[in-house]
Chain A
């Protein structure tokens, strides 16, 4: 007969055990705390960008009715289709007309604070529809940067008083500014837009994708499917692994020293930027591509070989299509990284002030992250909100790209 023995526990043992359990709980809580802290930092970062950035999509505008029948401005329909139509309107005294009607409706003091480029908005409206020259039209024109900062309670006291007065009369409002998404860089925060930088980013990414994707996929196929095991293959593998870890600024130095000395006239062109970023993205695509190719089971290859396919046919008819979703996921992640990259593009001169959207791959351009960097250096307070708004646009693009990558992975991921 055996008896159930309850182990005798000394009080000191119990105390020690309690202490150990308490340490266990503390350790676990610390782990959770650390993660919550990191997420809190992330939320704070995103939150502060969002709060600032919402203001960046708006601008301070004044309501100005313009009676064109008294203005004496003529719009020749042929002239209006020319690229310098806005300048011909300006030569007819459009900006004087604007400030005349502004002083009539708002007073001299306020009319002086109409933004220096406000006539461009009026000119754009006339070019779009010359028939408004026969009637009275009301425009929401951007205020000067000084008045805009007065509106947000900063700047000189006169401007604050003026802004308060106009605000009371309902003539000064801060409204959503759709032009932010369609204009390009400017010296005045009321007049800037991100379309130029966004288009520059897209052109640069196009070059990067066209170069890095084929080279990366072909290199991955070679290394995974055909490469003989020898010293050369090892050398290729070592350089790819090292390139993936080289700081991005080094690629900028390479672009500066090599690409810009071959094509000196393409300084700050998306072509050179795209080539530089392609070298940086290629190793990422090779590494993720190799993993995707490795995941294709050997039985597929054996089956194809057994019915008489050649090695190249096996790779291009069977392995590549099956590995493609995985390769695409890696490519999108690599492209997202390239889209957020700033330092190498600073090196090759994509930091120039470009006030028009780039026409093509060889015209001077800037990209979204560099635009953010340039605006963050501006002294004018109005740029703070604009910078945050540009950051929101950049983060949205990255979110979409990463979401797409995750979607692809979940949809096509196969467990063999």
Chain B
């Protein structure tokens, strides 16, 4: 709440600086004998506004991260906080309760112990809120005033402003690198902690997966963390069952759309097919769990198969395959379109029919691109979460029977992190190790696929 006020304050001060600086620049302009100054008045205005807003924004960001801690510290230093438990959940709960009342988020406290803390909280929030506003004003006036005093008729405001703009642009594009580093750092850090408890060999080669999130973390049984059934389930559902559906269907629809369909028909069919890719995965998951899985189970029962699972790998894989069709289709579409027209014309001129041209010339020529598209599709399928969370099981089985229950890496990540386990427990940490494996595999697939696509494009250009 207080950060919102500070941000609005920063905006207001920036606007004030902008207007004042522009008025000053206009005054320079009117006073100068040639009627012109080194930079347009608007650049003087932006120069001052940037000098006010940027330092204030930095301060507000830091302050909103720091001030809650400072408030809690000053409340704890208050004599009325002496009776609090030293650490742990209870203390945090009491503090939260008192804070909620003090900020008006809750009408009254349940725990009488918290009521003594309300007044210290109000005082501390008021005190630090006041400091925040005073500091914001001081920073704005100091740096804005300094910038304002630098304005002269010959001041090169435009160059300065443009340099700042360039720095902001560069900063924005560095966010991507920071995100990648953040992903890597957080995954690696937690994975290393996990491997401190469970040996990497047990994790990567073990065939028994049954983590016990409530067991004592210190005596974790390393043999319960064998992830091979998860890897197999992921590959079986995402890279085998789903691809058995998605590759032929996606490829055939791309061929029909590019080679046979009338342009008017194509204009309607292609977006219609792409709706399949736009449906959220949670909807597919619901469809798989509610409609497809029971249907497959009934079908298997009527075919005389005993005991098919209602959370079969087949249901999740089939629905995932349907979801991937437009993806494979558009990748194949691109690679077929990249094959030079001369190759197609040559084949047709030799008397081959359209389908023969497609099967003997176009598809082989487009194969590298198609394979790369399939790799991207696999990387998408194995990272897909909601369909398998809703339709596949959490039971880790190492089997090739598609009617049996199977689990995947993503299902286990969700299961391990949405439970009640503590952050230090190997069961929770195992989710990060699984995430790390998933990240590396999808990264590898994408990297190779993008290189193949690039080289393939160059070959025909």
Is B252 an interface residue when CB atoms closer than 8 A count as contact?
yes
Instruction: Let me know if A391 and B283 touch, CB within 8 A.
Output: yes
Interface residues on B, range: 35 or more
Instruction: Let me know if B186 and A258 touch, CB within 8 A.
Output: yes
Is B282 an interface residue when CB atoms closer than 8 A count as contact?
yes
Against B, the Cβ 8 Å flags (1 = close, 0 = not) of A190-226 are 0000000000000000000000001110110111001
Contact of B354 among A24, A41, A239, A248 (CB under 8 A): A24
Instruction: Let me know if A31 and B255 touch, CB within 8 A.
Output: yes
Is B256 an interface residue when CB atoms closer than 8 A count as contact?
yes
CA distance A187 to B101 in the complex (A): 27
What is the number of residues of chain A that contact chain B, defined by CB distance less than 8 Å?
87
Chain B CB within 10 A, most for which of A30, A34, A227: A34
CA distance A227 to B173 in the complex (A): 10
A82 to chain B, nearest CB (A): 9
Instruction: Let me know if B249 and A38 touch, CB within 8 A.
Output: yes
Instruction: Let me know if A246 and B383 touch, CB within 8 A.
Output: yes
Residue in chain B with minimal CB distance to A375: B286
The answer to whether A253 and B390 touch (CB under 8 A), given A265-B68, A312-B162, is: no
Instruction: Let me know if B383 and A249 touch, CB within 8 A.
Output: yes
Which residues in A have their C-beta under 8 angstroms from that of B255? 31
Within 8 A of B (CB), among A83-119: 83-84
Contact of B180 among A35, A38, A239 (CB under 8 A): A239
Is B405 an interface residue when CB atoms closer than 8 A count as contact?
no
Residue in chain A with minimal CB distance to B447: A242
Is A355 an interface residue when CB atoms closer than 8 A count as contact?
no
Among the 9-residue stretches A120-128, A146-154, A341-349, the one with 4 or more Cβ atoms under 8 Å from chain B is A341-349
Instruction: Let me know if A282 and B286 touch, CB within 8 A.
Output: no
The answer to whether A23 and B353 touch (CB under 8 A), given A239-B179, A253-B186, A254-B183, is: yes
Instruction: Let me know if A250 and B354 touch, CB within 8 A.
Output: no
Instruction: Let me know if A239 and B438 touch, CB within 8 A.
Output: no
Against A, the Cβ 8 Å flags (1 = close, 0 = not) of B161-183 are 01001101110111111011011
Contact of B172 among A215, A311, A372 (CB under 8 A): A215
Is A340 an interface residue when CB atoms closer than 8 A count as contact?
yes
Is B384 an interface residue when CB atoms closer than 8 A count as contact?
yes
Instruction: Let me know if A38 and B162 touch, CB within 8 A.
Output: no
Label chain B's interface by main secondary structure: helix
CA distance A41 to B325 in the complex (A): 11
Is B385 an interface residue when CB atoms closer than 8 A count as contact?
yes
Which residues in B have their C-beta under 8 angstroms from that of A370? 282
Is B457 an interface residue when CB atoms closer than 8 A count as contact?
no
Among the 9-residue stretches A42-50, A61-69, A73-81, the one with 4 or more Cβ atoms under 8 Å from chain B is A42-50
Chain A CB within 10 A, most for which of B180, B248, B382: B180
Contact of B107 among A23, A39, A84 (CB under 8 A): A84
> Which residues of A are interface residues toward B (Cβ below 8 A)?
20-21, 23-24, 27-28, 30-32, 34-35, 37-39, 41-42, 45, 48-49, 83-84, 214-216, 218-219, 221-223, 226-227, 235-236, 239-243, 245-251, 253-254, 256-258, 262-263, 265, 279, 282-283, 286, 310-312, 316, 336, 339-343, 346-347, 351, 359-360, 363, 369-370, 372-373, 376, 384, 387-388, 391, 394-395, 398, 402, 406
> Which residues of B are interface residues toward A (Cβ below 8 A)?
1, 65, 68, 96, 105, 107, 158, 162, 165-166, 168-170, 172-177, 179-180, 182-183, 186-187, 189-190, 248-249, 252-253, 255-257, 259-260, 269, 271-273, 275-276, 278-287, 289-291, 322, 325-326, 353-356, 358-359, 376, 379-380, 382-386, 389-390, 410, 413-414, 417-418, 431-432, 435, 438-439, 442-443, 446-447, 450
